[in-house]
Amino acid sequence: MAATPEAPERTTTASPLDEHAPPVSDHATPTGRHDGRATAAMIVGIIAIPLAILAPILGIIPAIVALVLGLVAKNDIQRTGKGGFGQAKAGYILGIVAVAICILNAIAGAIIASS
């Protein structure tokens, strides 16, 4: 009977539950990078909505900024293949909604003031 080589014994005290696969990286985008303008567009768009409701004159500025940032980020993401397309689209849509709220709120204010 031939001797079979045995697996070397482990000398660590770590639990087998501590062994896990390495983290998954985003291979769909170049080095997993996201466009920062997309995130900025979404954040500014979120801030623009309450400002548009409370003060349409103050809300129009971040609304337009979110709209422009979202549009520029969407075009850049499509051209370069970076990540963050959903955030750019959300910022663009939030900018459009905030501009619409500003316009409607200003019209309602003008009607109330004239009556």
Q: pLDDT digits over 63-112, tens only?
A: 999 999 999 999 999 998 888 999 999 999 999 999 999 999 999 999 99
- pLDDT tens readout for residues 44-70: 999 999 999 998 889 999 999 999 999
Average pLDDT of the residues of the chain: 84
- Tell me the C-alpha to C-alpha distance, in Å, between residue 36 and each of 30, 45, 56, 69, 109: 14, 14, 27, 10, 36
CA distance linking residue 10 with residue 6, whole number of Å: 12
Domain segments of the chain: what residues? Answer: 32-114
Instruction: Give pTM, 2 decimals.
Output: 0.70
Neighbours of 76 (CB within 10 A): 17
Paired tokens of 63 = 């609304």
